């Protein structure tokens, strides 16, 4: 491949690698002592000579060196035309960057003990600028590796579509003309009935397509699916032995009366959103409508944007109680793979069971 100039990701990773390499030679830790000077009530801290990463560690310095060299290699690969190696090296840089960030943060929180047995109790290991520079460089390297992968994916060439060459049909000779058959004897003329008018399709009207047949097939599957859903086991969400993480339809009931019909590509996630205390108005939709009805009965103003209403101080208690009530409602569910069937059934089930007007009523 032809060489190219490094992108923003490779430049950031290379700059971070150079900074990390320099940061290993900057003092990381030092021995600080508290000295009582004459005329001062408080002791004065005397900062000793600092040690860099090569003197303070026995293995972390080598890990930082490997990451710095890998980041510099990520900068050089595009210049050498080795674009196929950018993504693997970038993945390694991201993984090593996360590891080094954890090691640097760990050593900032728990610095190595540089004191000796001869030091007094007022002597301790102090932090210098080295680990902070190293942490900044590691974060820059990690971001650069992630950005390099995105740039590499954006530069991937689209597959070339080869159109087949048109094949010219071979000329077909016309059949020889047939001799006209002798005309039969004409029968006596009979009275002709008046022609029946034929209904013509209006000009521009759509033609019935195969999609209409598919829709008719969906309609035929709605009633059996509703019977399966109603016969499914009913229990509060927390009492079901296992809710699948696959697509399907569900039904909330109260006192064996339908309350809410819905569908979701992930039943386990969607039913949890209906009941989770942290769910907002776009997730706990049933509880939000129940809370609005309860708030209106107690003269609470609900004529506000839903996002503001859900978090307002006067409405949020109703919302919390409604989500707790929904968590106690029995729910039935049936797995359904077809996305079209789930979408049509959600409307059909709400109309057939009458939950359009009932779904916002407050559970007793």
DSSP state string for 114-144 = ---TTS-TTEEEEE-SHHHHHHHHHHHHHHH
Residues of the chain with pLDDT under 50: 192-199, 358-364
Q: Taking a C-beta distance cutoff of 8 angstroms, is the pair 94, 150 a contact?
A: no
In a domain, 194, yes or no: no
Q: What is the pLDDT of residue 192?
A: 46
In a domain, 160, yes or no: no
Quick: pLDDT tens for 118-158.
555 577 888 888 899 899 989 999 998 888 888 877 766 55
DSSP state of 235: B
Nearest in space to 325 (alpha carbons), one of 350, 297, 362: 362
Give the total number of structural domains in the chain. 2
On whether both 233 and 114 belong to a single domain, the answer is: no
In a domain, 53, yes or no: yes
On whether both 352 and 224 belong to a single domain, the answer is: yes
Domain holding 78: CATH number? 1.20.140
On whether both 55 and 133 belong to a single domain, the answer is: yes
In a domain, 173, yes or no: no
On whether both 354 and 235 belong to a single domain, the answer is: yes
On whether both 139 and 224 belong to a single domain, the answer is: no
On whether both 63 and 140 belong to a single domain, the answer is: yes
On whether both 222 and 353 belong to a single domain, the answer is: yes
pTM of the model: 0.44
Domain boundary pick from 154, 179, 207? 154
On whether both 238 and 313 belong to a single domain, the answer is: yes
Nearest in space to 260 (alpha carbons), one of 293, 286, 228: 286
Q: Long-range contacts made by residues 1-7, C-beta under 8 angstroms, separation at least 24?
A: 1/81, 1/82, 1/83, 1/84, 2/81, 3/78, 3/79, 3/80, 3/81, 4/78, 4/79, 4/81, 4/83, 5/78, 5/79, 6/75, 6/78, 6/79, 7/78, 7/147, 7/148, 7/151
On whether both 145 and 247 belong to a single domain, the answer is: no
In a domain, 195, yes or no: no
Q: What is the pLDDT of residue 77?
A: 82
In a domain, 190, yes or no: no
Q: How far is CA 50 from CA 14, 55, 137, 253, in A?
A: 27, 10, 20, 70
Which two tokens mark 261?
């019909």
On whether both 143 and 223 belong to a single domain, the answer is: no
Q: What is the pLDDT of residue 363?
A: 47
Which two tokens mark 199?
């209904």
Domain holding 301: CATH number? 3.40.1440.10
Sequence-ordered list of residues with C-beta below 8 angstroms from that of 83, at least 6 positions apart, any chain: 1, 4, 77, 152, 155
Domain boundary pick from 102, 124, 154? 154
* Whole-angstrom distance, CA of residue 48 vs CA of residue 36: 16
On whether both 150 and 13 belong to a single domain, the answer is: yes
Residues β-bridged to residue 47: 32
Domain boundary pick from 138, 154, 170? 154
In a domain, 263, yes or no: yes
On whether both 143 and 64 belong to a single domain, the answer is: yes
In a domain, 209, yes or no: no
Which range of residues forms the domain containing residue 249?
Answer: 218-358
* Whole-angstrom distance, CA of residue 140 vs CA of residue 146: 10
């Amino acid at each position: 491949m032809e060489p190219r100039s490094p992108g923003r990701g490779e430049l950031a990773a290379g700059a971070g690698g150079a900074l990390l390499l320099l940061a290993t030679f900057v003092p990381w830790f030092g021995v600080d002592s508290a000295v009582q000077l004459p005329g001062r009530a408080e002791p004065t801290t005397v900062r000793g000579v600092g040690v860099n990463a090569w003197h303070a560690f026995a293995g972390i310095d080598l890990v930082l060196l490997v990451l710095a060299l890998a980041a510099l290699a990520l900068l050089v690969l595009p210049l050498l035309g080795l674009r196929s190696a950018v993504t693997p090296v970038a993945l390694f840089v991201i993984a090593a960057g996360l590891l080094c960030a954890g090691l640097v943060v760990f050593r900032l929180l728990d610095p190595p003990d540089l004191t000796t047995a001869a030091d007094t109790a007022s002597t301790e290991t102090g932090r210098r600028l080295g680990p902070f520079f190293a942490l900044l460089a590691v974060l820059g390297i990690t971001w650069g590796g992630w950005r390099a992968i995105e740039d590499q994916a954006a530069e991937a060439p689209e597959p070339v579509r080869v159109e087949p060459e048109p094949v010219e049909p071979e000329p077909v000779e016309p059949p020889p003309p047939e001799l006209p058959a002798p005309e039969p004897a004409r029968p006596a003329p009979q009275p002709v009935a008046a022609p029946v008018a034929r209904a013509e399709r209006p000009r521009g009207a759509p033609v019935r397509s195969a999609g209409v047949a598919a829709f008719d097939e969906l309609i035929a599957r709605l009633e059996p699916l509703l019977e399966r859903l109603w016969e499914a086991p009913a229990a509060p969400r927390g009492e079901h032995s296992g809710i699948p993480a696959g697509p399907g339809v569900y039904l909330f009931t109260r006192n064996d009366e339908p309350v809410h019909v819905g569908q979701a590509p992930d039943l386990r996630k969607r039913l949890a959103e209906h009941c989770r205390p942290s769910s907002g108005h776009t997730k706990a939709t049933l509880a939000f409508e129940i809370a609005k009805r309860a708030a209106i009965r107690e003269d609470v103003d609900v004529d506000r944007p839903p996002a503001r209403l859900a978090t307002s101080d006067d409405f949020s208690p109703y919302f919390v109680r409604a989500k707790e009530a929904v968590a106690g409602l029995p729910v039935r569910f049936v797995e359904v793979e077809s996305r079209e069937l789930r979408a049509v059934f959600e409307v059909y089930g709400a109309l057939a069971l009458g939950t359009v007007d009932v779904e916002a009523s407050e559970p007793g």
